[in-house]
Amino acid sequence: MKAVRIHTYGGNDVVRYEEAPVPVSASDEVLVRVHAASVNPVDWKTRSGGGQADKIGERFPIVLGWDVSGTVEELGSGVVDPDDDGWAVGDEVFGLLRFPQPGQTYAEYVAAPAHELAPKPSRLSHVEAAAMPLAVLTAWQALFETGALEAGHTALVHAAAGGVGHLAVQLARWKGAGVVGTASGGNADFLRSLGAAPVDYTRERFEDVVSEVDLALVAVNGDVTDRSLGVVRRGGVLVSIRSEPSQEEAERLGVRAERVLVRPHGGQLAEISSLVDAGHVRPAVAAEFPLEEVDQAFELSESGHVRGKVVLRVTTG
């Protein structure tokens, strides 16, 4: 099969689109024919030796990619039939695989832990479905598990036009929370369409117009994390998916401050799949590329200004 692999960490020049063995599924896995995979910043950060590279180490060659949408091709010996909550050949599934260990989804086939998959939302194409898992599970776990966001709360979502942010805004709105989102001015209408009040970070300091929020979701580095602590109400929570917040400052302000790392979760993704089919959440796909043009997809993502997600189309030869 064809796969996107690296044999060393580095820039886009280390990325190879090449022949690789079709993976063999373990007993608790299914073989998925990949229709689409998506780009998350962690993919190119890890390619460079940052991201999750310290957890993965030097086990080259590494097939890149964590998000997948595709079709079940073969069942591992321990994966029971669908009547027993398992999978059947031909099922359309999506998932975030094995994170932070290599997910190996940038390939024509991937062996997927069965419990990390969920039914693909039927109203989405594979390209749209592949855009979701890592970003939407990050948003879900940050807002609801760690952040305990409830109806009537107000959330500040930074980078609200990005992969995580645009899904976080929709999940928070579905929950019944009010949302303020930061983005550059060109994304103001996009944020409004998702139900968030936009703050243009290029023109104003968010702390001049936002205060006393119940939750702040921080997906931007630099001083944004610590500045955001100051706009959370006493007793509220800041959830960072970037740098570690200052516990000293959080304590002084009476704010709970957490940093989260997303983890795969087929159950949560199944719940999200139902929300998509009910019309509450929908991913925005900014651009799609064939798998062999992954370097161009990475370049676009590395610009730091994608609206929604960049997706890779995979067609089996």
Ligand X SMILES: NC(=O)c1ccc[n+]([C@@H]2O[C@H](COP(=O)([O-])OP(=O)(O)OC[C@H]3O[C@@H](n4cnc5c(N)ncnc54)[C@H](OP(=O)(O)O)[C@@H]3O)[C@@H](O)[C@H]2O)c1
Please say whether the dihedral angle defined by the alpha carbons of residues 141, 147, 152 and 153, taken in this order, is positive or negative.
negative
- Where on the phi/psi map is residue 104: left (φ > 0), alpha (ψ -120 to 50), or beta? left
| Residue number, 22 or 300, with CB nearest to ligand X | 300
Q: State the minimum distance, in angstroms, from the CB of residue 91 to ligand X.
A: 26
| Count of beta carbons in the 10 Å neighbourhood of residue 93 | 23
Tokens, residue 307 = 């609206």
Chain residue whose CB lies nearest ligand X: 162
Tokens, residue 311 = 């997706």
211, 231 Cβ separation under 8 angstroms: yes
- The answer to whether residue 305 forms part of the interface with ligand X (CB under 6 A) is yes
Which of 23, 41, 76, 103: binder of ligand X (CB under 6 A)? 41
105, 34 Cβ separation under 8 angstroms: yes
- The answer to whether residue 183 forms part of the interface with ligand X (CB under 6 A) is yes
| Residue number, 7 or 205, with CB nearest to ligand X | 205
Question: Distance between terminal CA atoms of the chain?
Answer: 8
- The answer to whether residue 281 forms part of the interface with ligand X (CB under 6 A) is no
- The answer to whether residue 276 forms part of the interface with ligand X (CB under 6 A) is no
- The answer to whether residue 280 forms part of the interface with ligand X (CB under 6 A) is no
DSSP SS3 for 125: coil
- The answer to whether residue 187 forms part of the interface with ligand X (CB under 6 A) is yes
Q: In what order do the strands lie in the sheet with 2-6?
A: 15-19, 2-6, 62-63
Contacting range for ligand X; rule: CB under 6 A; set: 4-12, 29-37, 61-69, 260-268: 260-268
Contacting range for ligand X; rule: CB under 6 A; set: 66-74, 148-156, 207-215, 258-266: 258-266
> Cα separation of 188 and 196, whole Å?
9
Which of 193, 304, 315, 316: binder of ligand X (CB under 6 A)? 304
Contacting range for ligand X; rule: CB under 6 A; set: 14-22, 81-89, 111-119, 298-306: 298-306
Where do contacts with ligand X occur on this chain (CB under 6 A)? 40-42, 134-135, 138, 158-159, 161-165, 182-184, 187, 201, 219-220, 241-242, 260-262, 301, 304-307
